[in-house]
Amino acid sequence: MTPEGSEGGARRRAGMLVDARQYVRARAEIARALAEDPDDGAAFHVLALLEQREGHHDESLEALDRAAALGVAPTAYLHTRMNTLYHARRFTEAVPVAEELLRHDPQQLQAHVLLAQMLGGEGRADYHRARAHGEYAVSLAPENDHAHYALGQVLASTHGRWGARAALPHLREAVRLKPDDPANLNALGVVDLTLGRSASALRSFADALAVDPTLEPAAFNLPLAMLGLVRRAGLVVTLVLLAAAVTGVALAPRAATAAAGGAPGAGVLGHVVAVVAVLAVLGLVVARVQHLVPPTVRPAAARAWRRDPVLAPLVVSSAISGVIAVVMVALPVPNGVHVPPLLLLGVVVRIVAGVVRRARTARYGRERRTERADLWRPRS
């Protein structure tokens, strides 16, 4: 927002152009305003806003210092300085500025919101102060998505699943109030992921990327959400493998021995029915996973299944186990002697994939925590 009560046509036009994000034209108007009155503090304040919007944080702070020296109102100066330091990620400097602003205006919503985010972010947690600011912000503006987003950040940043459950209603409310904000969607996805709600998390990340395809945390967390689906599908495939082993032995013909005569087994029809049943179950598993992946991210999901260092081993092991299950019920080998080595092979493949997944997921977990520190990114 531009400073209130400003006079001078060029300065007013500059303020409106900054709000409209027409920065080149705004800079020309500010230059005109300062040429008319080099001691116009309000014009320097507008210049500070322009520099902040363009990411020139040091230049913004210089203009703010000049504006303060020329008598700009403390609340306007502190508000813009707080925002500039926050967007520059200079949180240790921004916190005292926000607290000073609250001494002038105890109900300044954005100061409470930003203090919640700065004090509650991972790596700089002051949980109780951050939560108090977040809850007060929600009480001041229950229809403000950023207030719910900030409180959700604080709650989700600690106490594991308990914190995620407490954060969930606030982040859902943030999405309801502003469903086209990718940061809201992404934050909701992270909380769902923490709670093991892989399908919900996947939808949130897909929606976030649909709004902002460049949002790196959402792109990073997308395979993590798919990991939950693939692991559940892998569990079903493992059960199919075990059931196929039992069925393969039951269907197999019995060779004659000295103590007993042979038996023909289930015959061709029995083996065909068993193969069809195994393929049907495996097909349902694949169809279910594909159905849970939103259409907008299916190309990315397909690439992840083939190339992702965590997902690919699980997908390959599930495919191998599925083939083994079909072979076990398809072959009419006497006494089912083919089943034990094939079952052992399938189990070894699953175990190796699980070990690889655990090792690589540990690395993912470390990187994910780093990403989460950046997830609650500065918002205009």
Query: Which distant-in-sequence residues (6+ apart) come within 8 Å of 374 by Cβ?
Result: 217
CA dist 177 and 145 (Å) reads 6
Q: What percent of the chain has pLDDT over 90?
A: 59
pLDDT in tens, 52-71: 999 999 999 999 999 999 99
For the chain, the domain total comes to 2
Neighbours of 373 (CB within 10 A): 13
The pLDDT score that the predictor gives to residue 309 is 83
Q: Is the dihedral of CA 292, 297, 302, 306 positive or negative?
A: negative
DSSP state of 300: H
CA dist 49 and 101 (Å) reads 17
Domain boundary (55, 90, 125) is at: 90
Q: Quick check: is 176 in a domain?
A: no
Residue 104 tokens, joined: 């002038």
Residue 148 has pLDDT above 50, yes or no: yes
The pLDDT score that the predictor gives to residue 262 is 59
pLDDT in tens, 362-377: 666 555 543 443 444 4
The pLDDT score that the predictor gives to residue 63 is 94
CA dist 300 and 353 (Å) reads 22
The pLDDT score that the predictor gives to residue 351 is 92
Q: Quick check: is 82 in a domain?
A: yes
E-strand spans in 64-184? none
Between CA 30 and CA 38, with CA 32 as vertex, the angle to 5 degrees is 80
Q: For 335-345, what is the mean pLDDT? A: 92
The pLDDT score that the predictor gives to residue 369 is 43
Of 17-21, 61-65, 215-219, 323-327, least confident by mean pLDDT is: 215-219
CA dist 308 and 290 (Å) reads 17
The pLDDT score that the predictor gives to residue 2 is 42
Torsion of Cα atoms, 22 then 23 then 25 then 31, to 10°: 150
Residue 191 tokens, joined: 């909380």
Place of tokens 């000295």: 258
Torsion of Cα atoms, 203 then 208 then 214 then 215, to 10°: -100
Residue 76 has pLDDT above 80, yes or no: yes
The pLDDT score that the predictor gives to residue 363 is 65
| CATH number reported for the structural domain that contains residue 56 in this entry | 1.25.40.10
pLDDT in tens, 90-143: 989 999 999 999 999 999 999 999 999 898 865 456 889 999 999 999 999 999
60 neighbors 48 (Cβ within 8 angstroms)? yes
Q: Quick check: is 117 in a domain?
A: no
Residue 241 tokens, joined: 């493998």
CA dist 350 and 240 (Å) reads 13
CA dist 3 and 184 (Å) reads 29
The pLDDT score that the predictor gives to residue 159 is 76
Residue 340 tokens, joined: 């034990």
Q: For 314-327, what is the mean pLDDT? A: 94
Q: For 346-362, what is the mean pLDDT? A: 86
Between CA 170 and CA 180, with CA 175 as vertex, the angle to 5 degrees is 155
Residue 28 has pLDDT above 70, yes or no: yes
201 neighbors 189 (Cβ within 8 angstroms)? yes
288 neighbors 204 (Cβ within 8 angstroms)? no
The pLDDT score that the predictor gives to residue 344 is 95
Q: Quick check: is 36 in a domain?
A: yes
CA dist 315 and 301 (Å) reads 12
For residue 239, the surrounding DSSP H or E stretch is: helix 216-251
Instruction: With cut-offs at 50, 70 and 90, classify the pLDDT of residue 173.
Output: very high
Query: Which distant-in-sequence residues (6+ apart) come within 8 Å of 226 by Cβ?
Result: 198, 202, 293, 301, 304, 305, 308, 311
pLDDT in tens, 223-244: 888 888 898 999 999 999 999 9
Q: Quick check: is 144 in a domain?
A: no
C-alpha 208: how far from chain center: 8
The pLDDT score that the predictor gives to residue 371 is 42
Give the CA diameter of the chain.
114
Half-sphere exposure of residue 2: CA atoms within 13 angstroms, side-chain side:
23
Domain boundary (61, 90, 119) is at: 90
Instruction: With cut-offs at 50, 70 and 90, classify the pLDDT of residue 260.
Output: low
Q: Quick check: is 298 in a domain?
A: yes
Q: Quick check: is 168 in a domain?
A: no
Neighbours of 287 (CB within 10 A): 10
What is the span of the domain harbouring residue 269? 230-253+265-375
Of 134-148, 165-179, 214-228, 240-254, least confident by mean pLDDT is: 214-228
The pLDDT score that the predictor gives to residue 3 is 43
Q: Quick check: is 318 in a domain?
A: yes
CA dist 27 and 42 (Å) reads 14
Mean pLDDT of the chain: 87
Residue 285 has pLDDT above 50, yes or no: yes
Residue 139 tokens, joined: 């009480």
Torsion of Cα atoms, 294 then 296 then 297 then 299, to 10°: 120
Domain boundary (63, 90, 117) is at: 90
